[in-house]
Amino acid sequence: MEEQKELEQKKEQQKKIQAEIKRINDENQRCKEEQLQKERMEDERVLEYQRQKMEREAELEAEQERIRREKEKEMARLRAMQERALDQQAEKDALRAKRSQEAAEREWRRKEKEAAKRKAEMEEQLRQGRSQQIAEREHCMAVQ
């Protein structure tokens, strides 16, 4: 009778231990799945950032090429004007063209500066996202 009771208590204790082990395993599994999901999301963010970066760089290259062609065209036009006429009207036209070119160069520099700023901001966001992911991963490891 006493042995029977003791055996039942041992079985009950084993059930509790197994339930606790299962709960811990389930929690660990959930944590791992969460971490994998976070890593997948971070990978997707990185890929999207890289795609956008490549797109911006391609746009910037196209814009720079367009500006270069415009500059060449403008320079050719200025040379032709200077060769064609030495009178006062021709000089005024050349000055006007030069001012227009300078304005275009200022605009191009402004766009370059803006693009560099956007790039720096995106890189900072990416760095912060990675730092957060690392902190979350370390927290999850600490919980385990």
Q: pLDDT tens-digit profile of 49-66?
A: 999 999 999 999 999 999
Is pLDDT of 90 > 80? no
Would you say how long the chain is, in residues?
144
The dihedrals phi and psi of 33, each to the nearest 5 degrees, come to -65, -40
Give, to the nearest 10 degrees, the angle between helix 2-84 and helix 88-143.
170
Largest CA distance in the chain: 126
Is pLDDT of 85 > 70? no
Alpha carbon of 120 to those of 57, 93, 123, 130: distances in Å? 13, 41, 5, 15
The answer to whether the beta carbons of residues 106 and 12 sit under 8 Å apart is: no
Q: CA triplet 24, 29, 16: central angle to 5 degrees?
A: 25
Is pLDDT of 69 > 90? yes
Give the containing element (helix H, strand E) for 13: helix 2-84
Q: The pTM is what?
A: 0.38
Give the model's confidence band at 23: pLDDT under 50 very low, under 70 low, under 90 confident, else very high: very high
Tokens of 54: 């490549």
Q: Other C-beta atoms within 10 Å of 134: how many?
A: 11
DSSP 8-state assignment for residue 1: -
